[in-house]
Chain A
Amino acid sequence: MSAKSDQNHCPYSDAVLALLLDGDSDTQLIQETGWQRDVSAADLASHRRECPICNSAIESARRLDGLLAASTDLSIDEELASRLLEKTQAIASTVEEPVLATEETGIPRRRLKTQLVGLGLLALGFTAGGLFWQSGEGIGQSNRATEDILLSDQLPPAKYRSSTLEPGMIRVPDASLTRPRRRTERLEMAPRQQLAVLRLTDRLTGSAEFLLELGEHLPVTFLQRLGLGLSSSLSEIRSQTARSLLRSENPEARRLTLASLSAWIDSPALALLLAEARQQTSLRMFLARRIAREFEDELLQRAAVRIGGREIDRQLLLLVADRPASADRIARELGSLQVRPEREQLLLDLWEADQRKNDNVDELQRARRWFSGLPSSSSQALMEEFHRSRRADRRRRALLAIGVCRDPLLSDELRLIVDGSRHEESELAAFALGQLPAGSDELLQELDWSRRPHLLLAAIACRQDARLARSLARLKLSEAEHQFLIAGDFTPEQLAIAAALFRQQGDLAGL
């Protein structure tokens, strides 16, 4: 045990770890491994007592093993387990294949054969081409367009040649790109939509900018070879990759990007990506053309709805006019995002387009399906749309939509509309007030000042306020009318009836 430990390394650390952490006291094995020929387990144990590096290594390794064990989920949910087992029986009972024999040793012959053939082809490629460097990954992609790529070590420029693209020159700003390490990462862009990226070094983290440039010009197989440094968050890498691919007009890159934009759930990363996509005229035009032609493609529709923009929104309207059945799907998709510019206008337009074809759809039900659950910014936008529009039917729809949004911040504006000059709008505003979750104090205070107190009372009754229920006994109402007002939770039509009942009472001051 005379080997010296330098400051950070001890030649016995591995052996000490094997012995003390893994309980491996087989000295024969220690010697087989070739660390130290004449070291016994006892020697290692006594060395460990003296060596701070080995002690520290053991502590760290213990923590690491613990961390690994703690971060491993050994459970499996019942649904997945059942699915796997059922599928197993289904597959196994179809085509019989030989079981992988566990007794085999060494490299399987078939694999060896494939490797030899692959190597032969590679050598042939080098000899024949002479100039072009090929990544090993490209060999398996024989069904794709052939391509020859050379990225020279001497920077820049680098040449590339492809059968699908014109030869050209690109500048490669990082030498490590010229010889990427061959280890690939599978990056999940969408369900079953994976992108193989070569993992390079940390130096390339955040290098999306130049990947953008490359993505613009290069064929798909090269795109797949582009590497990204791993950062701590996978979703960050996915966003980076999607952003890099966003501007590419390469069909494969575009397909992946659209699949990502379509599949990702709402998040700040998606919002950023969508905002970026929205700014690209070529992408918007591409989508607008495609949804006009391929209206059955839901993935395409979904991505288009999420991105939006004038051209796309116009095509979506045409689509709904042609195929009313798609209206609900588009509206649902619009509602799935926190932020989507022009969403409220588009929803109102879709409503109008759909109404022309389907005038028997319950408007309140539709409003609930399309607008309930939208963020507060949406109800504000709807109120703006109400004020902006000069068309009575659009203003009416906007108010109905505001009603189902149940945004207490709009209470004051709604009270003003109740007192406005258009009776139908006043009723809808009262309906919207009746939907608000807040208490009824502010409405009760308003009763003395309002031009239409009967509408405010109907709104209060709509909220099923207990105080109003007690006062109703003083009114001249039939039992059925009494029960109707107590029940509350009116539709706009019912609210108009309730308001009429209050109005019949004449003086409402007693309430």
Chain B
Amino acid sequence: MLISFALGLTDTQVLGSMGCCMESRLSKPAEPDHLSPAERLDLERFRAGEKDAFAALIRPQLGALRALARRAAGDEHWAEDLLQETLVRAYRGLSGFRGEAALRSWLYRILLRLLAEPRRWKRADIAGNLEGIEIPDALGAGPDEGIRERELRERLQEALERLSPRQRSAFHLRAVEGMDYRAIAEVMNSSSAAARMLVLAARRKVMERMGRHLKP
């Protein structure tokens, strides 16, 4: 209570941040396991050679994984390439996954490692068969979305495009996934301080760019 008064935080926030700090100071459990029982079961099935278990295990993570890929790659098609390669790497490495991190974090880590090495996942720009493919010409929102909201989103998009892929990813992990710095650092293979700097720099740049549009 005293802490929450001093810091101006809600009790939940205080407990959350304390939990985070305490967790960091606790020694690792003997058999760390961040997997749910269902995930553990699917993993065992996969290891036993039931390849269909891969889909069952990964499918719930795909949406979030794709969102991060889109944010990081900044391009729909490349995001798909990146995601595909991430899945291939995950498939090959899943047998060795010990569950020391959450499955999603593990997948994010693979994705972000790949992001740094585009040669590994960018497919060549080959002209495909255009028959039957339609490219939306207006990538913005539909006509019924409020003009102000649409402008805000466009500006946000514009501002995000000016960030580096790592900054974009870190900011995404913080704002969309709600990860704390330590978790972001783990995923991004950096120190917590570096993760914090990435998030703050990203936020500062986007705020500067969006200026008055963020004022209440």
Contact = CB atoms under 8 A, between A and B. Distances in A.
Interface of A: 14, 17-20, 22-26, 29, 32-33, 41-42, 45-46, 48-49, 56-57, 59-61, 63-65, 67-69, 71-76, 80-81, 84-85, 87-89, 91-92, 96-97, 99-100, 102, 104-105, 108, 111, 185-186, 188, 190-194, 199, 230, 232-235, 238, 255, 259, 262-265, 267, 269-270, 298-299, 302
B59 A85 contact: yes
A417 B147 CA distance: 50
A81 B88 CA distance: 13
Given A32-B193, A89-B54, A191 B63 contact: no
Contact of B175 (A68, A92, A233, A238): A68
Interface of B is mostly: helix
Contacts of B125: 192-194
B197 interface: yes
B93 interface: yes
A301 B87 CA distance: 38
Interface of A is mostly: helix
Given A100-B110, A186-B78, 10 more contacts: A18-B199, A29-B192, A42-B7, A49-B8, A64-B210, A67-B153, A80-B80, A88-B87, A88-B90, A262-B130
B47 interface: no
Contact of B200 (A18, A194, A235, A264): A18
A29 B214 contact: no
19 contacts: A14-B200, A18-B200, A22-B181, A29-B196, A33-B193, A33-B197, A67-B152, A68-B160, A68-B171, A69-B176, A72-B172, A85-B54, A92-B91, A104-B189, A188-B76, A232-B154, A233-B140, A235-B137, A235-B139
Nearest to A270: B137
Nearest to B16: A23
Contact of B203 (A17, A108, A111, A264): A17
Contacts of B128: 191-192
B77 A188 contact: yes
Contacts of A298: 130-131
B175 to A, nearest CB: 4
A264 B135 contact: yes
A19 B7 CA distance: 9
B154 to A, nearest CB: 4
A85 B6 contact: no
B63 to A, nearest CB: 4
A144 to B, nearest CB: 13
B196 A259 contact: no
A105 B185 CA distance: 12
Contacts of B72: none
Given A41-B7, A265-B137, A100 B63 contact: no
Contacts of B87: 84-85, 88
